[in-house]
Amino acid sequence: MIPGHVAIIMDGNGRWAKKKSLPRIFGHKQGVKTIKEIVKAANDIGVKVLSLYAFSTENWKRPQSEIKSLFSLIRQFIRKELRELNDLGVKLRILGDLSKFPENVKFEIKDACIITSQNTKFELNIALNYGARQEIIRAFEIMTKQGIKKLTEEVVSSFLYTCGQPDPDLLIRTSGELRVSNFLLWQIAYSEIYVTDKLWPDFTKDDLKIAIVAFQKRRRRFGGL
Ligand code: FPP
């Protein structure tokens, strides 16, 4: 079975650059190249939803210069890739709170979401200023405001950024760390976790296939026998 939803914690851009004695931004630039390759590969393989953790609520602690470079890379990515993503039938969704983002970045991102909103072949979720705990609190705030009394798992799911999408079947983390780092905590309740030592800029479509084969060998019991 091909996992319908794959979520990826893209880690190791900084280490990749350090290994090459380059500034960290070069690692992020290379990371964007990997994003392009993996989006296409996931789509070709038959994955339906791909969630990428690009900027966490904790990433604001990084130096201003790095944050600025990340914004600029995100903008460039959307500018350069929008047409191709649209042609591939990709629908873009942002997970997270864009309100703190610079106006020009926000505009570009929102525009891309509107342009691709009718696409149905593949959904690309990009997590930006995202934190799962914040996402869950936000969901409960909205439910409280709306006076929702009957809480079920389906109701809570429907107030998360991923509403309407299946939960991730597979969560991949690159560069070896054994943590989920506040990513999709509610949604990954039953996800299979695959960690590779490869740094994100070195992660290839073959590595994605290897992760999917490993996933296919797991027996998912969802708490049953
Ligand atoms: C992790 O590496 C990477 C990130 C926090 C940023 C990922 C973002 C991009 C690849 C840039 C643009 C995004 C899009 C959606 C086009 P790290 O810096 O934490 O690496 P380290 O742990 O080795 O320092």
Which of 59, 86, 97, 119 is flagged as catalytic? Answer: 59
Cα–Cα separations (whole angstroms), residue 221 to 190, 204, 224? 9, 29, 5
Q: What is the pLDDT of residue 62?
A: 97
Does ligand 1 lie within 6 Å of residue 88's CB atom? no
Q: Which residues of the chain have pLDDT under 70?
A: none
pLDDT given at position 193: 98
Rounded distance between C-alpha atoms, residue 97 and residue 101, angstroms: 8
Q: Provide the pLDDT for residue 223.
A: 83
The verdict on whether 59 is a catalytic residue reads: yes
User: Does the CB atom of residue 126 touch ligand 1 within 6 A?
Assistant: yes
Q: What are phi and psi of 182, to 5 degrees?
A: 60, 30
Model pLDDT, residue 16? 98
pLDDT confidence of residue 225: 77
CATH number of 5-131+167-216: 3.40.1180.10
Contact 39 CB / ligand 1 (< 6 Å): no
Angle (CA) 32-16-128 rounded to 5° is 40
pLDDT tens readout for residues 37-61: 999 999 999 999 999 999 999 999 9
